[in-house]
Amino acid sequence: MTGTAIALAGARAIIAQRMHASLQETAQLSFLARCDATALVGARRAWRDAGMAVSYEDLVAESLARVLPGHPLLNAVETPAGLELIPALHLSFAVDLPGGLVAPTVFSAQDMTVDALSAARRELIARARQGKLTIRQLTGGTFTLSNLGGTRIEYFTPVLNRPQAAIVGMSRIAGAPWVDAGGALVARQVMSLSLTVDHRFVDGLPAGRFLSALCERLEGAVAQP
């Protein structure tokens, strides 16, 4: 049998080692939830109509910045002394590059508006593609957002970006039947969210409460221009 060999070398080797260590050295547990993304779709359209190139990822990131302060166990990093709760949200974004996946960070995301967060994320991606990320940008995150919304993926279980305690994955938005609060079957734009936590530090109930709160924010309080 002949084929093409892909060596685990350079950046790919580092990524492989980190992913393997993440799974070997933590107790990863994932939670999945569907949310009505109709308001999210409408908010993105409103931002675009206002001349702002705001993405779904930007709007989910802004919602994370509003929800996470009420769930401090999830915005945290592991240290030799245990779990350190971080008051500021240093939000990492998974970015796919030709050499492999990186997760650079926007610092103090909790203080940013949607348009400021969007601009910071785009600048970060540009720096990543140019190979100009700093060590701090690559290692200073407290929580990660991974986005596969541009594919047909409906659910996935993202791997923790150590030493962080949690990561959220967002999947595609698509039309689907939905039962509304009154029990009626309606058509909605639906998105799935995945949350992976380190179960050594975060139990199921706090994880479920956080993911529920994030869904509720996206369903009714998405930032508007």
Residue 14 covered by a domain = no
As for how many domains the chain has, the answer is 1
203 is catalytic: yes
3-state secondary structure of 92: strand
117 membership: H or E segment, kind and range: helix 114-129
Which residues are bridge partners to 13 per DSSP?
none
Residue 124 covered by a domain = yes
Residue 17 covered by a domain = no
Longest alpha-carbon distance in the chain: 60
71 is catalytic: no
| The model's pTM | 0.93
User: What's the pLDDT at 10?
Assistant: 64
Q: At 153, phi and psi to the nearest 5?
A: -65, 130
User: What's the pLDDT at 8?
Assistant: 66
Residue 225 covered by a domain = no
Catalytic residue chosen out of the listed positions 96, 111, 180, 203: 203
User: What's the pLDDT at 74?
Assistant: 97
Residue 83 covered by a domain = yes
Q: At 144, phi and psi to the nearest 5?
A: -125, 145
- CATH number, position 87: 3.30.559.10
pLDDT in single tens digits along all 225 residues of the chain: 578 877 766 666 767 788 888 888 999 999 999 999 999 999 999 999 999 999 999 999 999 999 999 999 999 999 999 999 999 999 999 998 887 889 999 999 999 999 999 999 999 999 999 989 898 998 999 999 999 999 999 999 999 999 999 999 999 999 999 998 899 999 999 999 999 999 999 999 999 999 999 999 999 988 888
User: Residues 117-151, buried b or exposed e (16+ Cβ, 10 A)?
Assistant: bbbbbeebbeebeeeebeeebeeebbbbbbbbbee
Structural domain harbouring 174: 26-220
- The whole-angstrom separation of Cα 156 and Cα 193 is 8
Q: Supply the angle between the helices 38-49 and 56-67 in degrees, to the nearest 10.
A: 120
User: What's the pLDDT at 9?
Assistant: 65
Q: How many CB atoms lie within 10 A of CB 4?
A: 4
Residue 144 covered by a domain = yes
Residue 5 covered by a domain = no
Residue 91 covered by a domain = yes
